[in-house]
Amino acid sequence: MTIDLSSFTPWASLSGGILIGIAAAMFILLNGRIAGISGILGGLLTPQKGDIVWRALFIAGMVLAPTAWLLTAPLPDMQIDASYPWLIVAGLIVGISTRYGSGCTSGHGVCGISRLSPRSIVATLAFMFSGFVTVYIIRHLIGM
Amino acid sequence: MNKHFVSAFVTGLIFGIGLLVSGMANPDKVLSFLDIAGAWDPSLAFVMGGAIAVGAIAFTFVKGRTHSLWGEPLRLPGKKDLDQRLIMGNLGFGIGWGLAGFCPGPALVAFGTGAPKAIVFVMAMIAGMAIYEVIEKSRTKAVN
């Protein structure tokens, strides 16, 4: 293992993480809900009365974040190397499996671990593990 | 306007800005974090660390309460069992995450930049969530 110090951004990442934590804290303290993105988005596909607007507004806030950012600074680097077919396959897998597994990086990884939920700790270990293995296979075994 | 709607929007916005600051909205950086056998960029561990440190304070505060500060019922996941759905779902999610470097939150933020590849990923992800709902519906029908 070698650490890539040139792209290591501990302070920016810690600050961003703190903002994410503040968002998760606000949502449970004020709205009484878990800020889990896959659950909030997925819930819009089976709309229930009185359960639509807050979901749509939360998603709108996330989607408008880059626009708000652009009011003060140019957007940070964003590099998407995956090809279109690859992105479609990855998107389908992420969509199906986050709903099947009741959460993603935000709901399990941030909120779940923050409240020491055993299910979320197991979930986070599972997706971290398969994420590491997938990248290892693609980059070092297949060599893509 | 209902204050809960405002807080949902603001939470989504802060969450999205946190993802931009942290570097998580950049799939290239996410994949460098998942590539522990290559030139490893450990930054994203700092995102999780920062978010959990703040989140833990809020979730500890609400422990034992039934309502949020605004009087909303606290909706915390009640499931306790480490079932096959949780484990298979999250192993699957990690594969999708490792294929493209996108998880649901960062994908929505990237979608908001208008990047065509992010739009395609989000469309596929929503299609995946819809496929999940169709499968679930037919499963529950089969059980009944």
**Residues sharing a CB contact under 8 Å with residue A134, sequence separation 6 or more, in sequence order:** B34, B94, B95, B97, B98, B99
Find the DSSP H helices in A27-52: 37-42
B139 — contact with chain A (CB < 8 Å)? Answer: no
Chain A contacts of B14, Cβ < 8 Å? 19, 22-23, 26, 61
Domain locations in chain A as residue ranges? 11-142
Segment B20-26 shows an average pLDDT of 97
The more confident residue out of B63 and A144 is: B63
Residues A54, B4: C-beta atoms closer than 8 Å:
yes
Which burial class, exposed, middle or buried, applies to A10 when counting CB atoms under 10 A from its CB (0-12, 13-18, 19+)? middle
Decide which of B80 and B96 is more confident.
B96
pLDDT tens track for A64-111 = 999 999 999 999 999 999 999 999 999 999 999 999 999 999 999 999
Q: Is the ipTM of this complex over 0.95?
A: yes
Confidence grade of residue B28 (pLDDT, cut at 50, 70, 90): very high
| Confidence tier at B90 by pLDDT (50, 70, 90) | very high
* pLDDT band at residue A1 under the 50/70/90 scheme: confident
Cβ–Cβ gap A79/B28 under 8 Å? yes
Cα–Cα distance for residue pair A56/A94, rounded to 1 Å: 20
B141 touches A: beta carbon within 8 Å: no
Inter-chain residue contact B68 with A32, CB threshold 8 Å = yes
Domain ranges, residue B114: 3-143
All residues at 6 or more sequence positions from B93 whose CB lies less than 8 Å from its CB, including other chains: A93, A94, A97, A98, A101, A104, A126, A127, A130, B103
Model confidence at B144, pLDDT cuts 50, 70, 90, reads: low
- Residue B134: its pLDDT value, please? 96
**A77 secondary structure, DSSP code:** P
Closest by CA position to B22, among listed B58, B53, B50, B57: B50
Query: pLDDT for A11-22, tens place per residue?
Result: 999 999 999 999
- pLDDT at position B1: 65
What is the number of domains present in chain B? 1
Q: Is the pLDDT of residue B142 over 80?
A: no
**Residue A38, C-beta contacts closer than 8 angstroms, at least 6 positions apart:** A98, A99, A103, A104, A106, A107, B104, B129
The pLDDT value given to residue B79? 87
Average pLDDT over chain B, rounded to an integer: 95
Residue A1 is encoded by which pair of tokens? 């293992």
